Amino acid sequence: MQPVISIQQLSKTYASGHPALKTINLDIHKGEIFALLGPNGAGKTTLISIICGIVNPGGGKVLVDGHDIISDYRAARSKIGLVPQELFNEGFESVLATVKFTRGLFGKAPDSAYLEQLLRDLSLWDKRDARIFELSGGMKRRVMIAKALSHQPQILFLDEPTAGVDVELRRDMWNMVRGLRERGVTIILTTHYIEEAEEMADRIGVISRGEIILVEDKQALMHKLGKKQLTLQLQQPLASIPEQLNHYTLELVDDGHALVYTFDTQREHTGIAELLKDLAQRGIDFKDLQSSQSSLEEIFVSLVHGR
């Protein structure tokens, strides 16, 4: 299947000499939700800005639905909607006027019915005549989304879409993103909220210091790198872990009141049964046990810091 976005050997060094992107190769599939994770300064926004035409690429090539972003920029850009990280807006403009402006800018004929539906879907219709500076931060964020969707793009970039928004709006946005995906829109989001990627993404890409260090199906990533932990609440606290148990990955926490066993979900035998047997033989009783799986956040941190 031809990717909807194909990034080949893309690099960027700013005039200051800062190498924002090293050699990036990445394919985004049509209709997927792709989450790009990375710490601050990793190159997420630079990557998006190059694809959208805001920043000049240093070297390499980007194709959007088969169209080169430089030589065939009109076709490429007309397919893209962008919700930037910052709440950029023309404060004195009305909501409807600014959304109409963006639609026109992207070469689309006026369509009042579509824009009305869009603003209604984003709970902005009642505010259509309000000037943007009068709106709350959350409403301004909705305006940014309305502008990005005003020209019915096939690809939507959401750069930190839920930064600083309340829980209700975050949930609304997640629902909106899912609705867009059902209509065939490809969504690329960058986020600091790992739970967002975990909740929504089909695939995850991790970028660090200008390099894509991993691209993986989310479930496969969780499966491959996810560690499980078994926590045993002990009847009697232990001063130290007995030497005979050294071949298990154990950690004593909570002042010796709990024993944490970390195991790999990939392994055929988790070793739990053996551990429990060994503990029983040594008279170490426990009153409770619970297991937990590492979150995407932990995976992400270990990936980035493990380099």
Partner 1 sequence: MNLYAIRSIYLFELARTWRTLLQSIATPVISTSLYFVVFGSAIGASMTQVHGVSYGAFIVPGLMMLALLTESISNASFGIYMPKYSGTIYEVLSAPVSYLEILIGYVGAAATKSIILGLIILFTAQFFVDFEILHPFWMGAFLVLTAVTFSLFGFIIGVWADGWEKLQIVPALIVTPLTFLGGSFYSISMLPEFWQTVTLFNPVVYLISAFRWSFYGVSDVNVLVSVGMILGFLVLCIATVGWIFKTGYRLKS
CA distance 82 to 294: 32
**Is the Cβ–Cβ distance between 4 and 155 less than 8 Å?**
yes
Q: Should residue 280 be labelled a site residue for partner 1 when binding is judged by CB under 8 A?
A: no
Could you tell me the smallest distance in angstroms from the CB atom of residue 62 to partner 1? Answer: 13
128 or 257, CB closer to partner 1? 128
Q: Does 84 bind partner 1 (CB under 8 A)?
A: yes
Residue in 2, 54, 166, 220 binding partner 1, rule: CB under 8 A: 54
Tokens, residue 214? 């991993």
Of 2-10, 95-103, 122-130, 277-285: span binding partner 1 (CB under 8 A):
95-103
Which range of residues in 96-104, 180-188, 237-245, 249-257 is near partner 1 by CB under 8 A? 96-104
Residues 80 and 153: their CA atoms lie apart, in Å, by: 5
By beta-carbon proximity to partner 1, the closer residue of 79 and 170 is 79
- The answer to whether residue 63 forms part of the interface with partner 1 (CB under 8 A) is no
* 74 part of the interface to partner 1, by CB under 8 A: yes
Taking the complex as a whole, how short is the minimal distance between the CB of residue 240 and partner 1, in angstroms? 57
Of 59, 91, 179, 242, which one interacts with partner 1 (CB under 8 A)? 91
Nearer to partner 1 (CB atom), residue 46 or residue 218: 46
Using the contact rule CB under 8 A, the part of the chain among 94-102, 196-204, 206-214, 258-266 near partner 1 is 94-102
Query: CB-side exposure of 79: number of CA atoms within 13 Å?
Result: 21
- Of 70-78, 160-168, 191-199, 246-254, the segment contacting partner 1 by CB under 8 A is 70-78
- Any contact of residue 140 with partner 1 (CB under 8 A)? no
Interface residue with partner 1 among 3, 31, 53, 226 (CB under 8 A) is 53
Q: Is 15 in the site for partner 1 (CB under 8 A)?
A: yes
User: Which tokens sit at 121?
Assistant: 């879907």
Contact between 248 and partner 1 by CB under 8 A: the answer reads no
Q: In what order do the strands lie in the sheet with 155-159?
A: 80-83, 155-159, 186-191, 33-37, 203-208, 211-217
DSSP alpha helices (H): ranges in 79-231? 95-105, 112-121, 137-149, 167-182, 194-200, 218-225
Distance CA 223, CA 210 (A): 26
The pair phi, psi for residue 228, each rounded to 5°, is -110, 150
Parallel, antiparallel or unpaired: strands 258-264 and 250-253: antiparallel
Residue 282, token pair as written in the block: 């040594």
> Are 196 and 172 a contacting pair, CB within 8 Å?
no
From candidates 1, 109, 113, 167, binder to partner 1 by CB under 8 A: 109
Residue 186 and residue 153: Cα distance in Å, rounded? 9
Residue 161 C-beta: closest distance to partner 1, Å:
15
Q: Are 259 and 251 in contact (CB under 8 A)?
A: yes
Furthest-apart CA atoms within the chain: distance in Å:
78
**Closest Cα to residue 117, out of 150, 166, 144, 80?**
150
> Does 58 engage in binding with partner 1 (CB under 8 A)?
no
Nearer to partner 1, 34 or 157 (CB): 157
Interacting residues with partner 1 (CB under 8 A): 14-15, 52-56, 73-78, 80, 82, 84, 86, 88-93, 97, 100-109, 147
